[in-house]
Chains A and B, each alone.
Chain A
Amino acid sequence: MLRLLTLLICLLAGAALRAAEPVVIYSAQKEPSLRPILDRYTAQTGVEVQLLVDQGPVLIERLAAEGDNTRADLLLTVDAGNLWQAAQRGLLAKLDSDLLQARVPANLRDADGRWFGISTRVRAIVYSTARVKPEQLSTYAALADPQWKGRLCLRTSKNVYNQSLVATLIARMGVAPAEAMVRGWIANLATAPLSDDTLTAQAIAGGECDVGLVNMYYLARLKRAQPDVALTMFWPDQAGDGAHQNICGAGVALHARNPGGAQALLEWLTEAATQRAISQLNLEYPVNVEAPADPLLLAFGPLKADTIDLSEAGRLQPDAVRLMDRAGWR
């Protein structure tokens, strides 16, 4: 028994000491989506990049708790809301980088240079080509029309992409019209909100519903795996403000130990060549206008994306969540 205890203590104590580290990213993006890109960086520059993967809010709490003892150099999230939160709590450093400011459009980065978008993800309408004609679709709000009763599938309101979407819609329309719209959506639901976008797409393909809202890379991924699937993308609000987009972005931690390395990595991520690779790997849109998007995405047609400042998505997220609760969006 004693032997076991000593073994136990040694095992655990040994594991508590850690080795030295180069650029450390606290990432909400999963490893398979990042690793190939980061390996390219290591191959080109010799700098090792370490990832701590967890959910956005958890990473923010960790950063906040660690304070000046943090090991993070970069905070990378899959939505603007969490980046905005981190900036609000004073966890990110202000960068003065001409390169980043030139490459990343103003609405996809923080006005004070605390965070920058790396790729964008558009949340748009996916529809069944067999049962819906594109002429029947127009705006996000139009999905609340009676003609879609029992034909709409939505992901749960617990997902940050839906929260950001509602947040920017609140910014564009105002709370009351946005709430009326969401109530209309809920009334049109064919089934209780689903747990992820892939299920939404599958439900439409299977005939449970005819239209839904998904991030375009889910559909692109599905199309890559099953080219014959009878689904395609429709960009909403093209005549109006444009389709809602969110970012996968990052900021340098205020107390980073390797801020220079972090900034260099961030600048490299927004380079045209890297942007193209990211688009190919993850099927997201590049932020750098000089980089071409993956052909699968271009096949969905020309896109006019909403140029609203994404800080709004962060600022209005709690309001969006409260709206969704009031409207009964589970």
Chain B
Amino acid sequence: MLAATPALLALVSLCWSWASPDPQTWDHLRQHLLLGALGNSLLLMLGSALGAAVLGTAAAALVCLCEFRGRRVVEILLVMPLAMPAYVLAYVWLASVDVGSPLRAFAIQTTGSAAWLPSLRTPLGAIALLSMANYAYVYLLVRARLHTQGSNLFEAARSQGLSPLLAFVRGVLPALRPALAAGVALVMLESLAEFGAVSVLGIDTLSVLVYRTWYGLHALPAATQLASLLLLLALLLAPLERAGRGRADARENAQRSALRPLLLGPAASAAVLLLVALLVLPAFVLPALRLAGWALQTRAEWPRLFAPMLATAWVAGAAALAILAAGLALAAAARLDRIGRSLRQIAGLGYAVPGVVLAVALMFVLVATERALAAHGIVGVALSSSLLAIALGLLARFVRVGVAAADSGISALRPALDEAARSLGASRPRRILRVQLPLLRPALTGGFLLAFVECAKELPITLMLRPFGFDTLAVKVYNATSEGLWQQAAAPALLLCLLGLLPAIALLRRTR
């Protein structure tokens, strides 16, 4: 119950906002902006889901089912884009190829116009960027699944005389459905709540409209009401998420073959490497190099990034721990009764809400608590700008990650082990500590790492609820980009990516 509280609080305040209707603002929104924003949100959601699904599944299939030179390296390379926040990817690409970039200036000089160059500031560009930024979620989930079952299914299909492609499509793909569903649901929610990347790309989605209504029209109630629309859309994804939980046969395949079933010849290997390069280069390597180039120009500022880096690590680490604990509690509760299931559902909705809305809701609650404490004479407690506040906000937003990890871990627990321990006289706490938690450790570690990356990349909650003068790397990036100082944002952005790379790669190693 406690674990779901932050998300619940946020949701309650979202619903509370409907108590102050604002027909004037809504009229204006309906007339001019709502349909467009809704359309854009849906378009981006579905488009990026498709893109991420295709890219992620293809990537996972290649590294799990095929053997070729450089496969190990490719396996790691493919997960790296997870470490790069979507807004960083967006602004690096924009600065490199879109209006104002040297490339376009060159095109104008030589050919007289740059209109023939594709523009990223279109829905298609946004879909491409979001797919590149988020396919790794699908990749990780499908890969985990393929590891346990993929080769057997593939070989079985091949033995029936099907070509490799058909064998994959007919034999393996159906078994991947739960993993795909879970991954696609995750990507859709990410797209729904995404603000930084889409706003810099100039696409007006619902999340952008929320900001516009609040900042431009000074109508916070209407803005929160809009945010609850986002929640509705997220609720629509619930069936997909349920499909993702699917059958709990994630049992370890005791006899996991070390050999990949499909050995690729040199031509095919080269083709695969080219395809991978086509994905990983624009999604991570090239932007990272560009950032490094800019970062070198601001060498003098590097020492000042040490404190923010520590701050990021600390915040992300503490929040990830909290998320894990909460996720475990919620996943366990969900198996007990209906209330538990609903709580888990509600808590998971936090993922779909734009960070700024969650942060404002939380700020109101914490400030009210501060005032109540002050009224009773307990002054000096800064709740609403503290690490606790950030942790609560991040908890509300990302607890879904912890729940998913705990879920997959718990579903792999074999009751026989627990029974054996009980028959030997172990008490309940002892069983939990000595038997169940160690068994859950792989899944929990995976969840911790993913939650860490998400929390490190996060911006609006950290920005709003942080203690005085406490800047994380994401805040530094925001400060620079909002002033148009994109070069200055490069060093902290690069550090952020590096900080996220470590968990991303560790995540990969663990699920080998």
A residues neighboring B (CB under 8 Å): 1, 4-5, 8, 11-13, 15-18, 20-21, 24, 30-32, 50-58, 61-62, 65-69, 71, 85, 153, 156-158, 160, 163, 191-200, 202-203, 205-208, 218, 317-318, 321-322, 325-326, 330
Contacts and interface: CB of A to CB of B under 8 A. Distances in A.
B33 to A, nearest CB: 6
Contacts of B339: none
A90 to B, nearest CB: 15
Contacts of B76: none
Contacts of A158: 199, 208, 211-212, 215-216
B484 A17 contact: no
B364 A65 contact: yes
B54 to A, nearest CB: 28
B216 A51 contact: no
A206 B108 contact: yes
Interface in B194-226: 199-200, 202, 204, 208, 211-212, 214-220
Contacts of A157: 216
A28 to B, nearest CB: 10
A207 B108 contact: yes
A51 B468 CA distance: 6
Nearest to B373: A69
Contacts of B356: 58
A213 B455 CA distance: 37
B289 interface: no
B484 A13 contact: no
Interface size class, chain B:
35 or more
Nearest to A2: B433
Given A58-B360, A61-B220, A326 B32 contact: yes
A326 B356 CA distance: 26
A52 B385 contact: yes
A325 B28 contact: yes
Contact of A52 (B114, B371, B468): B468
A218 B479 CA distance: 15
A17 B381 contact: yes
A200 to B, nearest CB: 8
B482 to A, nearest CB: 8
A192 B121 contact: yes
Greatest chain A CB density within 10 A among B114, B218, B360, B363 is at B218
A214 B109 CA distance: 24
Nearest to A194: B99
Contacts of B467: 15, 18
B363 A55 contact: no
B464 interface: yes
A52 B467 CA distance: 8
Interface string B297-332: 000000000000000001000100110010000000
A65 B363 contact: yes
A54 B105 contact: no
B327 to A, nearest CB: 13
A17 B378 CA distance: 11
A68 B109 CA distance: 60
B383 interface: yes
Contacts of A325: 28, 32-33
B391 interface: yes
Contacts of A15: 386-388, 467
A71 B467 CA distance: 12
B325 A65 contact: no
Contacts of B391: 12
B204 A330 contact: yes
A71 B382 contact: yes
Contacts of B215: 55-57, 158, 160
A21 B469 CA distance: 13
A300 to B, nearest CB: 19
A18 B214 CA distance: 30
B381 A58 contact: no
B506 interface: no
Interface in B432-446: 433, 437
Interface string B24-60: 0000100011000000000000000000000000000
A296 B360 CA distance: 41
Contacts of B32: 325-326
Contacts of B433: 1
A101 B360 CA distance: 36
